[in-house]
Chains A and B, each alone.
Chain A
């Protein structure tokens, strides 16, 4: 990074007391954020871990979590990009209101999100009868679990992509246009490519949020092994039956998420 010399000079200029305070706060933050993860790992019953993990329900839940989180990333990308584009590139009255509204699912209490989804897409929801006549049923289905995960995770995609779009020099798009590029080619080769890190961050955040999603899913889609019981739901059920299994599953979830996050934003995390 070109800025490194400047930023390190700035940090060296900080007076000692400020450095001590910042260092102490950083240490506290690290303890708060990292210690629970380590503690969870320490509590896991490693001696018979394999036997516990290879119970049929566990692998079902893992597979389902993969399907649901990946599908909701794809869906979030397909739906979040147009919204991010409208927010970043169009000026119209009510844009800030629209931004607030589409980001709202981030702050919904878990169950409220699920009830909201039921109110909209449940069989007695606003779209319920329309969807029924089309033969679509979301509650208690994997599709419903995907919708729930997308509902809560798509805002992360929108936020990332919007800031990414804003950071692209729009004159690059002008330059591409003078070189004969069509709108689609500009979108594909200049905009999407220019999104780079923002796209990676958006995918990572969305995927992580979808993977850990619990409240909206249990409320909207219920919990059915192999259909809607994702890893977090399985962990929640197991914790009251066998804490060891639950912790092990939790560790699996965390380790899996960490691996994917590292792979997606390796440059950012390892720099």
Chain B
């Protein structure tokens, strides 16, 4: 009878999610009564806030986790880490926070148990597939339109650091056409051909329309990676269930799924 209940909607605000869940539970009871079946067992919810770059991987993790934990429902909100951190600071209710960088996790440190790193990702330069740009140095040529994430966006912050380490930042900076509020904005500008080059996570480049983008890796030795920390919120509705989910992500099955989606070991 569980299948009669539609999959829960992704709702950013935990409060609304609870109400929605209540409505669904009532609907489920009614369906069960109509069909003359037993009541479904009460369902428990784990509310996860996860960085946008984790979407595919975490959806796969959700599907792997739920069969092993009956009567548990994982509800994930995806958004930029910086947006999620701000929502948490403004009082949004959640059980688990998975951030794309440590800076954003640091902003909500007071609200969380001790975080643990569960994956790492690194940034790459992307260009349209037919671009003549073949190296990172080519980004310094006058007139190249470079699109980065804004300072608050992890991928943007790491890109600046990496360019700086290569001593290219001063000559690339004049070419910056836009500081996008999230990585999707960078991807879209390059995919639509408005920008000549952008910087996104390797996982984003891998996911986006294969064949339309080309990725240029940063040289060895340049720090261009980002650690993904995960933490249980102090005011989680059930720290036991929340910890179970975090353990799953950190454990064998979770790690395997993350690897499949291009993430590296922490």
Q: Are A123 and B152 in contact (CB under 8 A)?
A: no
Q: Are A240 and B178 in contact (CB under 8 A)?
A: no
| Complex interface residues of chain A between 145 and 162 (CB less than 8 A to chain B) | none
Q: Are A223 and B151 in contact (CB under 8 A)?
A: no
Docked pose: A222 CA to B146 CA in angstroms: 11
Chain A residues lying within 8 Å of B86, measured Cβ to Cβ, are 239-240, 243
Determine if A122 is an interface residue (Cβ-Cβ < 8 Å).
yes
Q: Are A218 and B181 in contact (CB under 8 A)?
A: yes
Residue among A124, A218, A221 making CB contact with B192, cutoff 8 Å = A124
Determine if A236 is an interface residue (Cβ-Cβ < 8 Å).
yes
Docked pose: A218 CA to B185 CA in angstroms: 8
Binary interface encoding of chain B residues 70-110 relative to chain A, with 1 for a CB under 8 A from any of its CBs, else 0:
00000000001011011001100000000000001000000
| Complex interface residues of chain A between 209 and 242 (CB less than 8 A to chain B) | 218-219, 221-225, 228-229, 233, 236-241
Q: Are A140 and B194 in contact (CB under 8 A)?
A: yes
Q: Are A241 and B179 in contact (CB under 8 A)?
A: no
Determine if B45 is an interface residue (Cβ-Cβ < 8 Å).
no
User: Given contacts A123-B193, A124-B193, is CB(A241)–CB(B180) below 8 Å?
Assistant: no
State the total of A-B contacts with C-beta under 8 angstroms. Answer: 70
Determine if A139 is an interface residue (Cβ-Cβ < 8 Å).
yes
A: number of interface residues (CB 8 Å): 24
Q: Are B194 and A236 in contact (CB under 8 A)?
A: no
Determine if B214 is an interface residue (Cβ-Cβ < 8 Å).
no
Q: Are B185 and A236 in contact (CB under 8 A)?
A: no
Q: Are B177 and A140 in contact (CB under 8 A)?
A: yes
Q: Are A237 and B188 in contact (CB under 8 A)?
A: no
Q: Are A241 and B147 in contact (CB under 8 A)?
A: no
Closest to A220 in B: B194
| Complex interface residues of chain B between 183 and 204 (CB less than 8 A to chain A) | 185, 188-189, 192-195
Q: How far is the CB of A227 from chain B (nearest CB, A)?
A: 9
Residue among B176, B179, B181, B194 making CB contact with A118, cutoff 8 Å = B194
Q: How far is the CB of B126 from chain A (nearest CB, A)?
A: 16
Tell me the A residues contacting B by CB distance below 8 Å: 115, 118, 122-124, 139-140, 218-219, 221-225, 228-229, 233, 236-241, 243
Closest 8 CB pairs of A and B: A222-B178, A240-B82, A140-B177, A240-B152, A241-B152, A124-B193, A139-B194, A237-B150
